[in-house]
Amino acid sequence: MHKHNDPYQDIRDAVRALCAEFPAEYFRKIDEQRGYPEEFVNALTRAGWLAALIPQEYGGSGLGLTEASVIMEEINRSGGNSGACHGQMYNMGTLLRHGSDQQKQYYLPKIASGELRLQSMAVTEPSTGTDTTKLKTTAVKKGDKYVVNGQKVWISRVQHSDLMILLARTTPLAEVKKKSEGMSIFVVDLRDAIGKGLTVRPILNMVNHETNELFFENLEIPVENLIGEEGKGFKYILDGLNAERTLIAAECIGDGYWFIDKVTKYVNERVVFGRPIGQNQGVQFPIAKAFVNIEAANLMRYKACELFDAHQPCGAEANMAKMLAADASWEAANACLQFHGGFGFAAEYDVERKFRETRLYQVAPISTNLILSYVAEHMLGLPRSF
């Protein structure tokens, strides 16, 4: 309803057609069962959509972040939740940018075909939170292995992944010049690791998001699983975050349009006091305001995508797009729930499910406060608060 001559209409139509095979009832049932949308993720993989960002030489479709973001947007816009599988799209970027030729030749074609899932990235720790450089998980080199000890929390999709990117400290904090140095990233083969030094404990949470606590006790990782240079892992992780944030911004935009479509239809039909509730300006204005904010956030999302695809710095735009989109989808979610009245709380309307799902993006993968802090200190030059 919003775009004329959309250059991505073909992608939208194709993703929508696939999503139409997985209607609201499918996702509702998965949510009720606290299940994983295995058939949906398999269908997306078979159709090649999750390999959008993998270059053609490695078996992917070599599309840009703009196209990839349209894919994620359409999934959420159709009532699904990309959170079940978005990691497969962007986690491989770390290997693509910083992996050796051998690693790329081995992993990327298998990730592109779906033979291997690289859905997980383990950064967050229970006692460090957003203060990532203080993380306590260590990887100590012993001969041809690194030995990993420590703990992670909120690590998503581990139960539905074969591989995981792990950030761990290889040089103690006290021995590095800058706190961002001395961390390294590894590709962990979960099939070898679970039960042999890695314990996975699922976390039951507000959203049906497959996420876990991880415990490392002398987990051995072959040295050839180190990605890039030892000690530079934090920088490598940061390099990947712009894609993650922009894709999640697009998911929030998709959610936002879903809420607007849903509530607009409902308030047109629901008659109270002898007229459609949508005739009242008290009902119209919050919906219109959320719509305006979604449209504005969408512009920042395309700006971030354009810069990323042109290999230009886009940290500020990716962060701002993520914040604007998460705020707008949350505003739309509130309006949608509010104007469904009591029915908004009934699972069969799907509003409460999408409401929970989109709320996550105020906190993860980066909280709104940390984006504001980035803008204040890095863009506006205000004094650093931490």
Ligand X SMILES: Cc1cc2nc3c(=O)[nH]c(=O)nc-3n(C[C@H](O)[C@H](O)[C@H](O)COP(=O)(O)OP(=O)(O)OC[C@H]3O[C@@H](n4cnc5c(N)ncnc54)[C@H](O)[C@@H]3O)c2cc1C
Which stretches of the chain bind ligand X, using CB under 6 A?
121-124, 129-130, 154-156, 205, 209, 211, 360, 363-367, 369-370, 373, 385-386
Given a contact cutoff of 8 angstroms between Cβ atoms, the answer to whether 305 and 69 are in contact is yes
Residue nearest to ligand X (CB): 129
Residue 89 Cβ, how far from ligand X at the closest point, in Å?
13
Residue 383 Cβ, how far from ligand X at the closest point, in Å?
13
CB closer to ligand X, 74 vs 210: 210
Catalytic, out of 67, 74, 210, 244: 244
Q: How far apart are CA 294 and CA 290, in angstroms?
A: 6
How large is the angle between the packed helices 65-77 and 233-269, nearest 10 degrees?
40
Q: Is the dihedral of CA 283, 285, 286, 292 positive or negative?
A: positive
Specify the residue for token string 């992996």.
Answer: 99
Residue 385 Cβ, how far from ligand X at the closest point, in Å?
6
Q: How far apart are CA 310 and CA 8, in angstroms?
A: 18
| Neighbour-count burial of 311, counting CB atoms closer than 10 A to its CB (0-12 exposed, 13-18 middle, 19+ buried) | exposed
Q: Is 331 a catalytic residue?
A: no
| Neighbour-count burial of 52, counting CB atoms closer than 10 A to its CB (0-12 exposed, 13-18 middle, 19+ buried) | buried
- What is the amino acid identity at position 137? T
Residue 306 Cβ, how far from ligand X at the closest point, in Å?
26
CA distances from 209 to 29, 35, 79, 206, 277 (A): 14, 9, 15, 8, 34
Provide the 10 A C-beta neighbour count for residue 303.
Answer: 17
Tokens of 334: 């509130």
CB closer to ligand X, 106 vs 374: 374
CB closer to ligand X, 123 vs 250: 123
Residue 320 Cβ, how far from ligand X at the closest point, in Å?
16
CB closer to ligand X, 15 vs 188: 188
CB closer to ligand X, 84 vs 304: 84
Q: How far apart are CA 246 and CA 65, in angstroms?
A: 8
Helix (H, G, I), strand (E, B) or coil at 286: helix
Among residues 92, 82, 341, the alpha carbon closest in space to that of 240 is found at: 92
Specify the residue for token string 């406060």.
Answer: 369
Residue 250 Cβ, how far from ligand X at the closest point, in Å?
18
CB closer to ligand X, 334 vs 367: 367
How large is the angle between the packed helices 315-339 and 351-359, nearest 10 degrees?
150
Active site residues: 244
